[in-house]
Amino acid sequence: MTVSVSARTRGHRRPPERNIPAAEGLAQRVHQARQRLSVQQFLAELFEKRWMEPAIPLAVLVGVALYFTITVPTFATSGTLLSTTQELSEFAFVCVGMAVVMISGGIDLSVGSMYALSNMVALLLISVAGVPVAVAIPLTLLAGAVMGAVNGAIVAYLKARPFLTTLVTLIIFRGVLNLLDLTYSARTAESSVDNPLWTFLGGGAVVGIPAAGAVLLVVLVVGHLLLSRSRFGWHIVAVGASRRAARHAGIRVERMLMTSYIVSGIMCALAGVFYAARLNSASARVGEGLELSVLTAVVVGGISLAGGKGTVWRALIGAAIVVLLGKGLLLMNVSGNVYQAILAVVLLLAVGLDVKWGKNRGKAIQKIYVNPTLVSYDELPDVRHGSGSPYEVNDRLRAAEGIGVGQVEGPEDVILDRQGRLYCGVRQGWILRFSGEDLSHREVFARIGGHPLGMAFDADDNLVVCVGGMGLYSVAPDGTVRKLTDETKRTWTRLRDDSRLRLADDLDIAPDGKVYFSEATTRFDMADWILDGVEGRPNGRLLCYDPATGTTETVLDGLVFPNGVCQSHDGESVLIASTWLCRILRYWHSGPNKGRTEVFMENFPGYLDNINRASDGTYWVALNGMRSPAYDLAMRMPAFRRRMMKQIPRDEWLYPSMNHGCVVKVSEQGEVLETLWDAGATVHATITSMREHDGYLYIGGLENNRIGRIKLDPSRRDEGHPAAPRATVHTG
């Protein structure tokens, strides 16, 4: 009966999940492939990544470098590169200092003056005071630290605004510099330092890298470790992110602020030392306007002006962009004024983007995260009264008696044990047990958390449960809960990490003890199931947990909301219900057909939920809602769904008709045998599961406040209706 083609490969492959039935023509396939790809989804997942934040500045840097390499012939020569590296290193020291201050939530405008003053101090110490170079360098760094401490003390302890404070110290330090310059310019100008260390710092190289570059690397590595891996770094970031929260957490905010400014001072001094060693020039004009370039670099690099965000690498990237830009423009003979103007524009753009991106990134991702795709169904089977269809609406479920009415909230699945006790999971995260006469005695069997969904008993009478939001759990007969698995191997071809189980939905246990279970969607949480429905993409998968080894692996990937999972009567295959595609797949996990996937039944008039074996060699299938023509049409129009999602609130969205579910009995050959409806949605609005036990059928529903029970009439056996013809299925 079931049409299929030979399996070319074995193991893990895409199942025949198609959103368009029988898309055989080339044009249709291309159309569908185009519908499957989604630039938006790619972008959303990309921008969700943390490493995307420095990726944009990095791309800009690469772009700038490429542009000048191509347009300016002298740009990429080794001489230029060497001198660029040296300049970049000096500049990057200052940028790192500024970055630390900005990460702590402040700003340091005095960097230019500190840098120039350090340069002067170093030269004075060496050439005027005659201090040995090896001593003069630490002394210069100390001078930088003192200048930073002045800033820090005023900002941290006197609670002055960093902007104004550092603006004032900018003028003061510059004033001191001018004063020193007036007094000593004649003596610094004529002196020259003859010291191997000094010469090395100014022009030497370590393995081809200028000395300044080598020191910069060390500073960057140490800075990175300090910022990202040490208590000091975390405290700095915490202070920058929220000063009040940091204080409440017991962080010494003042000390941290003070330290960050001292770091900035030392970095400026370091840059000053290298500058002094390179040029031996104690001009008063050194470092004028440097704060603009540094600020531009740091912001372009992606360090937020708001604080609490940034790394030293970003400072380096920003610095490189600004230095390369300057160098390239210089080589292109662009005047310094134009360069300043360009820098200002870049700063403006970067600040604007920083504010907008920082504020709206999450929203922007949210806006483009859900990407509806084309889902096209075959013609909707007529279920109306008098249609003569095997799915014809009737009132048979209306006679169901209620168990635990008002005592259960959302029994997605129901199951009975050997003693005839009834179990169901509820939205409180519990598993309830009903026992006694008429199953009227209710008790909490286990408290797991999450939302327990599909259930099955293993050979040792442990209740194995899929828990939405948590994973696969096992409950022993005495009620103790044990986690079986909550992760699988990550799909490396995907941007998003999908190793954690997000929505384990239903399971069944194979004769060899392996647990086959479905994860309905890897992209959405359980409360957002409708988003997966609106999207209609193959986001789910079939997993297998092997209790012998304790490992979990992905058996089938790319399923469209796989929901119910049911072991076939012969024990060789599992049936998998694909909710949004309204079809059942069959996957052979053993036997001669092992590894093959095919469509078992399709074009149901509703959305499939759980599947269970019936006592007579057939299967029970729950339809949690009906397909409405309006929703079918919307599924064919992805752009319509996307606009709907964006423009109106969720309570107003067009939903699948979840208020009208039914139970369908199908044969091993895929024929519809009978259908049980609750036509007016009087008591069982949604039907997500059913379980046959001892001549009764028990009915559970995700949104219901009861479990239904209806006595099955053993004499009733409708004529088998042939199922709709099935499409040929390709595997691999």
Partner 1 sequence: MPATETLHLIREFLFPGRYERAAIPSLDGGLAANDALDAFDTVTSEPVTEPDDVLVGPDGAVRVTSGRRVLRVTGGAVETVATLPGDAGAMAWAADGSLLVCVAGHGLFRVEPDGGSPQLVADRGSDDRPLHCLTAVAVAADGSVYLTDGSTAHSGPDWIRDLMERNAAGRVLRWDGRDRTAQVLRGGLAYPHGVTLAGDGSGLLVTEAWRHRIVRLSLDGASVRDMTRTLPGYPARITPGPDGTYWVALFAMRTQLVEFVLTQREYVAEMMRTIDPDFWIRPALRTLNSGLAPLQGGQVIKLGVLKPWAPPRSYGLVARFDADGDPIESFHSRPGGGRHGITGVRQSGDTLFVAAKGGDQVLTTKAGAGR
Q: Which residues bind partner 1 (CB under 8 A)?
A: 40, 356, 360, 363-364, 367-368, 383-384, 409-410, 530, 606, 625-631, 633-634, 637, 639-640, 643-644, 647-660, 680-681, 683, 685-686, 703-706
The amino acid occupying position 44 is: A
Instruction: Count CB-CB contacts under 10 A for residue 681.
Output: 14
Question: Which residue, 49 or 356, has its beta carbon nearer to partner 1?
Answer: 356
Closest CA to 162 of 113, 104, 116, 244: 104
- Residue whose CB is less far from partner 1, 15 or 701: 701
DSSP state of 267: H
Query: What minimum distance in Å lies between the beta carbon of 661 and partner 1?
Result: 8
- H/E stretch holding 475: strand 471-475
Whichever of 483 and 650 has its CB closer to partner 1, that residue is 650
The dihedral over CA atoms of 340, 321, 268, 112, expressed in degrees to the nearest 10, equals 10
Report the nearest approach of partner 1 to the CB of residue 720 (Å).
Answer: 24
Shortest Cβ 407–partner 1 spacing (Å): 11
Please identify, using beta-carbon distances, which residue of 167 and 364 lies nearer to partner 1. 364
* Closer of 130 and 649 to partner 1 (Cβ): 649
**Cβ-contact 147, 169 below 8 angstroms:** yes
d(CA 351, CA 299): 7
Q: Quick one: CA dihedral 260, 261, 265, 268, positive or negative?
A: positive
d(CA 485, CA 197): 61
Q: Which is nearer to partner 1, 540 or 656 (CB)?
A: 656
First to last CA, the chain: 22
CB of 355 to partner 1, least distance (A): 10
Q: What is the DSSP letter of 502?
A: S
Please classify residue 189 by burial: count the beta carbons closer than 10 Å to its beta carbon, then call 0-12 exposed, 13-18 middle and 19+ buried: middle
Q: How far is the CB of 563 from partner 1 (least distance, A)?
A: 17
Residue 520 makes CB contacts below 8 A (sequence gap 6+) with 503, 505, 529, 532, 540, 561, 562, 563, 579
Of 474, 523, 479, 480, the C-alpha closest to 498 is 523
The two tokens of residue 431 are: 């598993």
CB of residue 629 to partner 1, shortest distance in Å: 4
Nearer to partner 1, 613 or 636 (CB): 636
Strand duo 481-485 + 471-475: pairing: antiparallel
Asked if residue 444 lies in contact with residue 457, where contact means CB atoms within 8 angstroms, the answer is no
At its nearest, how many Å lie between partner 1 and the CB of residue 605? 9
**CB 612 to partner 1: min, Å:** 22
Closer of 454 and 625 to partner 1 (Cβ): 625
Please state the closest distance from residue 45 (CB atom) to partner 1, in A: 17
Q: How far is the CB of 382 from partner 1 (least distance, A)?
A: 10
Residue with tokens 């390179």: 278
Is 107 or 582 the residue whose CB approaches partner 1 more closely? 582
Q: CB–CB of 481/473 below 8 Å?
A: yes
C-beta closer to partner 1: residue 344 or 633: 633
